[in-house]
Amino acid sequence: MAVALVTLEEQLTRDEGCQLTCYQDTLGNWTVGVGHKVPSNVGTITQAMADAFLTSDIATAQRAVSSALSWASALDPVRLDVLVNMAFNMGVGALLQFHHFLGFMQTGDWSQASSAMLDSLWAKQVHDRAQRLAAQVVSGVMQ
């Protein structure tokens, strides 16, 4: 049986959800599409707009990870996407606080990186997302 490949876009849409009607997130930020922050309530957007926001937000997260973690470009695409997913979710500044996790990622110690990721408040907050990303770090396969 063939395994379906998951793209980063599909992964983020599953993890964040896609809401075409603007809402306030748990921190009170106006949000629409796939976790896209907006300055105020914009009402309802189209799926095409949500897709465009997602593409732009992924590119922003990728640039932030590349800028902050020069060694990340040497990672395989699947593990690099873990960093991008995390930066997309919490911002690169919060990602940079995962010192042990990032150290293990840089040295390729996937098992320890996975454990360090799961030993965080973030993992307790995002539950299944953290479990999938931790498995992705160990296996090198999109979850």
Reported as a single tens digit per residue, the pLDDT across 95-123 is: 999 999 999 999 999 999 999 999 999 99
pLDDT tens digits, 64-100: 999 999 999 999 999 999 999 999 999 999 999 999 9
pTM for the full model?
Answer: 0.93
**pLDDT reading at 2 higher than 60:** no
- The domains found in the chain, sorted by start residue, are 8-139 (1.10.530.40)
CB pairs under 8 A, 24+ apart, for 22-25? Answer: none
pLDDT averaged over every residue in the chain: 95
Question: Sorting pLDDT into bands at 50, 70 and 90, what band is 1?
Answer: very low
Q: Which of 30, 43, 111, 108 is nearest to 76 (CA)?
A: 108
